[in-house]
């Protein structure tokens, strides 16, 4: 009898332990799903191990919707490769990239992406998106991130921060992409943003004062001191002046894409265009497997630099400057298949 009671007591303890374990597990499961429901992006992006990455999906699409886009982007890659072959045949210069050349390449480890940012080609919004992708749930909506936060270097990781072996591995295994824009539209956009808006006083002091001093006769003391009223003609003269080239690389806002992203040294898998920004950007996100949870920001900018606006600015500079600027940006025109503008005077 006594032994039977002991056995019953022991079984009762076991039942209580099993019940407590099950209850604890049930609470944990509920807690987990509440967390994941609050952070849908984390739920979508957490489990990529073993799945196909963006690079595999681009070159061997499993979804029929990707097939036509894959053909389009193959054509763009071919255009870049053909231009690089022509450039290599005509140039005696051979150079090897250094880590310093990779400072524009943003890395997303989680989704195995590398993005070369080009100023004045929606790079603020792309940096916002990359912060969402790499934030491990810290951000869910790109447009909630202030624009100045997107440009803080420590908020993203760049390829030049890795070792040589790590750089080579990522260049080989990750999907590499960039976005480009009609070169002269991008140039005029940079001029308008950096030299015609009062809040960009740092650019006025850094570049405007130098431009006024070099290229304006009888400049006022105020212009020499503030550099706040640089004319497009003066800006164009600054860009094509050999002295500017001797000063060092151009500022990133008007440097060529060829020099910023080195497309003849780095094989970009996808070349997006500003003219088809929303379509190309969301294609990248779908390839990365986050198309349902992250959308590229869209909004109509009434101040956007257009082709007709660019033509108006170019009408105020000489035919010689037209030709010199075209030579400066010629590789960007050829490499990314932009036609010579109809307003260009190449006498």
Dist CA 41 CA 290 (whole Å): 8
Quick one: the chain helix, strand, coil %, rounded to 5? 60, 5, 35
In this structure, what are the phi and psi dihedrals at residue 179, rounded to the nearest 5 degrees?
-125, 140
Residue 115 has pLDDT above 70, yes or no: yes
Dist CA 73 CA 228 (whole Å): 42
Q: What is the pLDDT of residues 157-208, one digit of tens each?
A: 999 999 999 999 999 999 999 999 999 999 999 999 999 998 889 999 999 9
Pairing of strands 270-273, 105-108: unpaired
Q: What is the pLDDT of residue 18?
A: 47
- What's the distance, CA 7 to chain centroid? 69
Query: 0.95 cut: is pTM over it?
Result: no
The residue-averaged pLDDT of 12-35 equals 45
For the record, the structure tokens of 235 come out as 């800006």
Q: What is the pLDDT of residues 310-321, one digit of tens each?
A: 999 999 999 999
Dist CA 33 CA 122 (whole Å): 36
Q: What is the pLDDT of residue 7?
A: 54
Give one word for 166, left, alpha or beta, with left for phi > 0 and alpha for psi -120 to 50.
Answer: alpha
Sheet holding 175-180, edge to edge: 157-158, 105-108, 113-116, 175-180, 270-273
Residue 47 has pLDDT above 50, yes or no: no
Residue 43 has pLDDT above 50, yes or no: no
Dist CA 134 CA 26 (whole Å): 31
For the record, the structure tokens of 327 come out as 């030579």
Q: What is the pLDDT of residue 93?
A: 72
Q: What is the pLDDT of residues 260-281, one digit of tens each?
A: 999 999 999 999 999 999 999 9
Dist CA 45 CA 142 (whole Å): 16
287 close to 176: Cβ distance less than 8 angstroms: no
Dist CA 232 CA 313 (whole Å): 7
Dist CA 77 CA 201 (whole Å): 39
């Amino acid at each position: 009898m006594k032994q039977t009671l002991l056995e019953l007591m022991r079984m009762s303890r076991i039942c209580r332990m099993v019940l407590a374990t099950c209850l604890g597990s049930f609470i944990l499961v509920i807690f987990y799903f509440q967390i994941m429901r609050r952070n849908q992006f984390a739920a979508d992006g957490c489990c990529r191990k073993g799945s196909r990455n963006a690079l595999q999906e681009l070159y061997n699409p499993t979804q029929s919707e990707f097939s036509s886009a894959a053909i389009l982007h193959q054509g763009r890659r071919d255009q870049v490769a053909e231009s690089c072959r022509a450039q290599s045949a005509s140039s005696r210069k051979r150079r090897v990239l250094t880590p310093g050349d990779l400072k524009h390449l943003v890395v997303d480890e989680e989704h195995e992406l590398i993005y070369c940012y080009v100023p004045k080609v929606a790079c603020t919004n792309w940096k916002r998106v990359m912060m969402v992708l790499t934030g491990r749930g810290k951000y869910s909506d790109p447009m909630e991130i202030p624009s100045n936060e997107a440009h803080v270097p420590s908020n993203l990781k760049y390829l030049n921060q890795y070792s040589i072996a790590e750089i080579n591995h990522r260049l080989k295994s990750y999907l590499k992409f960039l976005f480009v824009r009609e070169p002269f539209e991008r140039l005029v956009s940079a001029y308008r943003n950096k030299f015609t808006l009062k809040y960009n006083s740092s650019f006025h002091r850094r570049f405007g004062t130098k431009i006024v001093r070099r290229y304006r006769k009888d400049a006022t003391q105020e212009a020499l001191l503030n550099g706040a009223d640089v004319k497009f003609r003066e800006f164009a003269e600054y860009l094509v002046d050999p002295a500017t080239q001797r000063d060092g690389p151009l500022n990133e806002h008007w440097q060529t894409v060829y020099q910023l992203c080195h497309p003849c040294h780095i094989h970009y898998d996808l070349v997006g265009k500003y003219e088809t920004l929303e379509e190309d950007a969301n294609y990248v996100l779908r390839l990365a497997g986050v198309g349902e949870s992250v959308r590229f920001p869209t909004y109509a900018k009434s101040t956007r630099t257009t082709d007709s606006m660019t033509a108006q600015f170019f009408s105020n500079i000489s035919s010689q400057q037209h030709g010199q600027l075209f030579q400066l940006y010629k590789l960007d025109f050829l490499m990314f298949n932009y036609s010579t503008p109809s307003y260009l005077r190449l006498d």
